[in-house]
Structure 1
Amino acid sequence: MKKTILAIAIPALFASAANAAVVYDKDGVTFDIYGRVQANYYADHNQSVGATDGSWGFSDTGTPEFTPGTAAHYSDVDGEIVGSSRLGWSGKVALNNTWSGIAKTEWQVASENSDNKFNSRHIYVGFDGTQYGKIIFGQTDTAFYDVLEPTDIFNEWGDVGNFYDGRQEGQVIYSNTYGGFKGKLSYQTNDDVAVKVTDIGQSITEKAVYGKNVKRNYGYAAAAGYDFDFGLGLNAGYAYSDLESTTSTASGDKKEWALGAHYAINGFYFAGVYTQGDLSYDTTTGGDKDKGRGYELAASYNVDAWTFLAGYNFKEGKINSNSANASYEDIVDETLLGVQYNFTSKLKAYTEYKIQSIDNLDDEFTVALQYNF
């Protein structure tokens, strides 16, 4: 049960890996490739830059950028069909009876008229020591994502009720499991361009959480959890980043913690996570702190070739929380519904609907066909 909970709950994330083609497997050396190609139709809608990119934090001058509810944050998106593909490979070579060398790369490739045509997702190399754990070096999700992953079950949307920065480069990550216990630690070295463009769907992008021209001096994260034999899993995590502006004297740090739980039984899956984040910044005029909090709920039911999904994401932020008139403002408030049908293990169709509760935002809708190899 422990090994299958997330594989059942997150078909969108594991579909490609499950269909990986083994190109070479001999004398302790394995090499495989995987990927997917898909086309989405997105209906006409308005979108909010502020609501979808999670931008809260200091600008070039150290002043807050988050201004929810302003008309400037909204833009029209015409109905269109968008194509995209993903390609990855992984390799493993046995060094002895315990240790192996491992490597992985994965890229997202968008269609001609889409933004961010060629994005690296995972690029790392390292060692797998079986019972001694795994250590990798490169670009991938930080340890903090382990707490968020159980609610990230939708093909298209979801997983926005948090302040996670997305995949990061320059990392050292150690992970291990013992019985039902699991743990992960990650440390990120200096990153001169801390703002990442992180894909949250097929060629739909969002900024990281703290504005423009920010350098991450270093960062670290930790996550721990326990999966019970009867289908219940518990998780907790913490992340920290030391930040400074590359165009001013502003500096600060970002902290986030999260608690989560998930449960699977008889084709049903339920997950939830609660998180809080603090963004502090010092300027020539003094120190300020922005606060944020949010939660995510997700559920799915799988029967034969059908998977039915439902979710809810909520996030709010408070600018200059140490000021007398500071108050929380909604950033994300959305309900998600989805249906997926697997024609085979390689070909599936899905539709997902996002119901917006933020003023001036339209509901969003997509239909997609996806082929995995």
Structure 2
Amino acid sequence: VYDKDGTTFDVYGRVQANYYGDHNTADSTAASGYKDVDGELVGSSRLGWSGKIALNNTWSGIAKTEWQVSAENSANKFDSRHIYVGFDGTQYGKIIFGQTDTAFYDVLEPTDIFNEWGDAGNFYDGRQEGQVIYSNTYGGFKGKLSYQTNDDKAVKVTDVGQGIKETAVYGADVKRNYGYAAAAGYDFDFGLGLNAGYSYSDLENTKTSNTGDKKEWALGAHYAINGFYFAGVYTQGDLSYDNTTGGDKDKGRGYELAASYNVDAWTFLAGYNFKEAKVKSNTAGAEYKDLLDETLLGVQYAFTSKLKAYTEYKIQGIDKLDDEWTVALQYNF
């Protein structure tokens, strides 16, 4: 939109319509444990802007906001994705303040290639607010550190084996006192990339003062050659109740595989996501149980650089869960 004298300002976004086929979802209140969901056409849009202003030959001020806007009948009509401001120091790295993905997502991003599904074989808490993030690159090396300040309402906290907000220890009033994450990787010049990451959250129930923590680590690799792309991630996480129940801990582990092939305007995708967990792993008889087991297939066609159509199919490996599919048209600007 604007680019002059070291100052840039861009507006971007997308509009799309999806048709989702009939399927079912887990529902603990239903007698069968599942509820049916009728197929429907759903619209959504995304809008964002980014700005940059040069301070000198090295440093610039930067800012970005991005929102997801869903259709009228959707549960979450308006969702903030990225809201941050900071500084870009070129060779000295970048530091930002606000809401975005934590450093841990850098390990998961290579397998997050699907339009609709995927990136599910992990225990990542998603984009978080109240963060300070530093990142830098040197040759093929890349690194990122993030620190999250107090969050009185931990809206985004992913379960490990059982519903964190349904447990007697944490409950719906769980807060994150603080959290941090780190990621590092190296990209070789022949298409191979390696990544590793770790995240930690200090958790507390604001009503009972019960405390504990959540940890996760991951290793990943990706490789690209002649239109083909392959990526994989392995992760382990645990949720502890150390200060309240003598060391009860839920343990989880999972992995993700993703592949794509691009030829002309066509892109073909395939993936597999799996994760399992052991609730109260230190108690007698505790064993791992599958939480997610899904195979993903997709085809995408780009009419232009701005307009594309895609379809994706999710094959469920968990008993009684229906397969899912969607077809969509997306316009980007």
SS at structure 2 position matched to 1:149: helix
AA at the equivalent of 2:164: Y
Which residue matches 1:31? 9
- Of the three residues 312, 318, 327, the one matched with 1:352 is 312
- The 1:209–1:229 alpha-carbon spacing in structure 2 relative to 1, beyond 3 Å, is farther
- Aligned pair 1:137/2:97, yes or no? yes
Q: Which residue of 2 aligns with 1:240?
A: 200
Within 2, Cα distance between the matches of 1:167 and 1:49?
A: 26
**Which residue does the alignment assign to 1:275?**
235
Q: Does 2:42 correspond to 1:98?
A: no
TM-score, length of structure 1 as denominator length: 0.84
Greater RCO, CA 8 A, separation 6+: 1
| Secondary structure of 1:147 counterpart | helix
RMSD across aligned positions (CA)? 1.6
Q: Which runs of 5+ in 1 are unaligned?
A: 1-22, 51-69, 199-207
Matched, 1:337 2:331: no
- Corresponding residue for 1:263? 223
Comparing 110-119 and 294-303, the one that deviates more: 110-119
**Deviation at residue 281 of structure 1 after TM alignment:** 1.0
CA contact (8 A) 1:249 1:284 kept: no
Distance 1:209 1:150, change over 3 A: farther
Q: Give secondary structure in 1 for the equivalent of 2:241.
A: strand
Q: Match for residue 210 of structure 1?
A: 164
Query: What CA deviation, in whole Å up to 9, does each residue of 1:107-127 have, x standing for no partner?
Result: 000011111100000000000
TM-score calculated relative to the size of structure 2: 0.94
Q: Structure 2 CA distance, aligned partners of 1:315 and 1:227?
A: 27
Contact 2:58–2:89, Cα closer than 8 Å, also in 1: yes
Determine the structure 1 residue equivalent to 2:182.
222
Instruction: Give the count of matched residue pairs.
Output: 323
Q: Secondary structure at the match of 2:106?
A: helix
Are the counterparts in 2 of residues 195 and 213 from structure 1 also a CA contact under 8 Å?
no
Structure 2 residue identity aligned to 1:169: E
Q: SS state of the match for residue 247, structure 1?
A: coil
Query: Shift in Å at residue 264 of structure 1?
Result: 0.1
Contact 1:290 1:318 in 2 (8 A): yes
Matched, 1:148 2:108: yes
* SS of aligned partner of 2:164: coil
Report how far residue 75 of structure 1 moved.
2.1
Structure 1 segments, 4+ long, off by >6 Å, are none
Q: Does 1:41 align with 2:1?
A: no
Structure 1 residue 252 and structure 2 residue 212: aligned?
Answer: yes
Deviation at residue 72 of structure 1 after TM alignment: 6.5
Cross-structure match for 2:323: 363
Q: Which moved more, 1:280-289 or 1:331-340?
A: 280-289
Q: Which amino acid aligns with 2:23?
A: H
